[in-house]
């Protein structure tokens, strides 16, 4: 059955920033993220220098929708009912026989909590966006390196990966110019970021002119948010939005109460005292969807304003906005473009330690669907009785149907449509199987 979604009926339109409004040059940004973590693990934690060298073929491992079983060092691609469709130990694909030997009837033991969207735990990690994928390749290669000394009964590298993430992404890293990630993006933003086309800017203006309240809600800190927005939208980017919320710490922004996550005002990108409520439009940090919604009631004059939120992460954006706040959600999913998506195919394999500090030419390589993991949406499993393969939807595909109002390949795609029509007369229909 079809479920209609009308953009014109939404009084407020919200956007995530990274990989939603702000698109990255994936070959360059993926390598930077990988290198940021690998350098830290090698220099600070004593991991094998082999991690610093990435071959062009290695990127084929990267695929959204994989779960990492942390103790076993196994990556899993799951069907909607928790059946393991494909698996690898480290980067090495597991045979159907190895999957059965490890998991019994191809059922993953953590699926019940996983399918409830408890996607971050001490037992597993779910990779669902482009910021995550370089880390998936790195973790798989760590397992490979550790196995060179004999397969581990349980793997304990995850704490070091978390330390690498915190070192590079901590809220003070941008200001302190520490780690590898932020200094590189600050030094050459055009290398990593794509400017928004005029069609997107025109659409944002159309939305405001139609009386919509425009929101920017990002987990990035305010200083990094400003760098991104100035580059992709221009120095006057703040004019596009009524409310900007940085360091939102999603999904907690949607799931936690005002007492747990109050809004804070900002002064020179430094968070100030907690606010008892949200009284007016502006730029804020942290916060919660409850107080935001109360402000939207005042701004729109509606007792129950309808909100739509655009995002690229099922875990951080789409599921929590839909489940906790009952917002309409638009899932930005490049996989909808077809075969030429996913991670970059690099053309160079020189080790990091032999390169200058990110010098040299990084060509814009094409993208390709992972040969190792196959389609993001569907896969096949052998029939238990007949032995014939049965086509089934992946767990990721099931989540899209359950929690997103519609899916689009990019913001540009919807802006191109909307710019040719009056926004008040644009209807978008989602066909979903009942």
User: Is omega for the bond preceding 251 within 30 degrees of 0, making it cis?
Assistant: yes
Residue 18: φ, ψ to 5° = -65, 125
CA distances from 383 to 97, 239, 363, 389 (A): 14, 57, 44, 6
Q: What is the torsional sign of CA 315, 317, 322, 328? A: negative
Question: Quick check: is 144 catalytic?
Answer: no
Question: Quick check: is 16 catalytic?
Answer: yes
- Which tokens sit at 279? 């009284």
State how beta strands 270-274 and 328-332 pair.
unpaired
Can you tell me the distance from the alpha carbon of 280 to that of 82, in angstroms, rounded to the nearest whole number? 45
Per-position b or e across 299-319, b if 16+ CB within 10 A of its CB = bbeeeebbbbbbbbbbbbbbb
CB 72 within 8 Å of CB 385: no
Q: What is the DSSP string of 375-414?
A: -SSEEEEE-TTT--EEEEEBHHHHHHHHH-SEEES-HHHH
Closest CA to 397 of 335, 317, 326: 335
> Exposed, middle or buried, 284 (CB in 10 Å: 0-12/13-18/19+)?
buried
Can you tell me the distance from the alpha carbon of 329 to that of 407, in angstroms, rounded to the nearest whole number? 9
State how beta strands 74-78 and 213-217 pair.
unpaired
Q: What would you report as the CA-atom Rg of the chain, rounded to the nearest whole angstrom?
A: 22
315: DSSP letter = I
Known catalytic residues?
A: 16, 18
């Amino acid at each position: 059955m079809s479920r209609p979604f009308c953009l014109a009926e939404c009084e407020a339109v919200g956007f995530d920033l990274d990989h939603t409004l702000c698109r990255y040059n994936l070959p360059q940004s993926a390598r930077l993220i990988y290198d940021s973590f690998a350098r830290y693990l090698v220099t600070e934690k004593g991991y094998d220098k082999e991690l610093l060298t990435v071959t062009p073929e290695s990127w084929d491992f990267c695929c959204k929708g994989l779960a990492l079983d942390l103790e076993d060092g196994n990556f899993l691609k799951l069907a909607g009912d928790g059946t393991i469709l494909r698996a690898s130990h480290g980067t090495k694909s597991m045979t159907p026989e190895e999957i059965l030997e490890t998991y019994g009837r191809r059922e993953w033991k953590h699926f019940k909590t996983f399918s409830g969207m408890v996607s971050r735990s001490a037992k597993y990690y779910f990779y669902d966006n482009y910021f995550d994928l370089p880390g998936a390749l790195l973790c798989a290669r760590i397992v490979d390196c550790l196995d060179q000394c004999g397969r581990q009964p349980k793997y304990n590298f995850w704490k070091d990966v978390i330390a690498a993430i915190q070192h590079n992404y901590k809220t003070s890293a941008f200001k302190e110019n520490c780690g590898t990630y932020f200094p590189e993006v600050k030094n050459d933003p055009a290398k990593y970021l794509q400017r928004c086309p005029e069609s997107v800017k025109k659409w944002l203006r159309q939305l405001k002119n139609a009386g919509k309240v425009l929101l920017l809600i990002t987990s990035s800190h305010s200083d990094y948010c400003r760098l991104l927005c100035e580059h992709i939208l221009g120095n006057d980017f703040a004019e596009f939005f009524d409310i900007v919320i940085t360091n939102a710490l999603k999904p907690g922004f949607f799931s936690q109460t005002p007492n747990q996550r109050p809004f804070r005002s900002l002064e020179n990108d430094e968070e100030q005292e907690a606010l008892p409520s949200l009284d007016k439009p502006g730029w804020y940090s942290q916060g919660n969807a409850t107080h935001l919604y109360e402000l939207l009631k005042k701004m729109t004059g509606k007792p129950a304003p309808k909100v739509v939120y655009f995002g690229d992460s099922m875990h951080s954006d789409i599921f929590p906005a839909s489940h906790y706040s009952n917002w309409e959600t638009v899932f930005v999913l490049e996989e909808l473009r077809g075969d030429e998506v996913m991670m970059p195919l690099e053309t160079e394999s020189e080790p990091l330690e032999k390169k200058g500090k990110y010098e040299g030419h990084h060509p814009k390589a094409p993208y390709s669907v992972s040969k190792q993991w196959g389609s993001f949406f569907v896969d096949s499993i052998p029939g238990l009785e007949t032995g014939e393969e049965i086509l089934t939807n992946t767990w990721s595909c099931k989540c899209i149907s359950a929690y997103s109002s519609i899916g689009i390949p990019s913001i540009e795609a919807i802006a191109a449509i909307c710019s040719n029509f009056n926004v008040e007369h644009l209807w978008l229909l989602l066909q979903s199987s009942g």
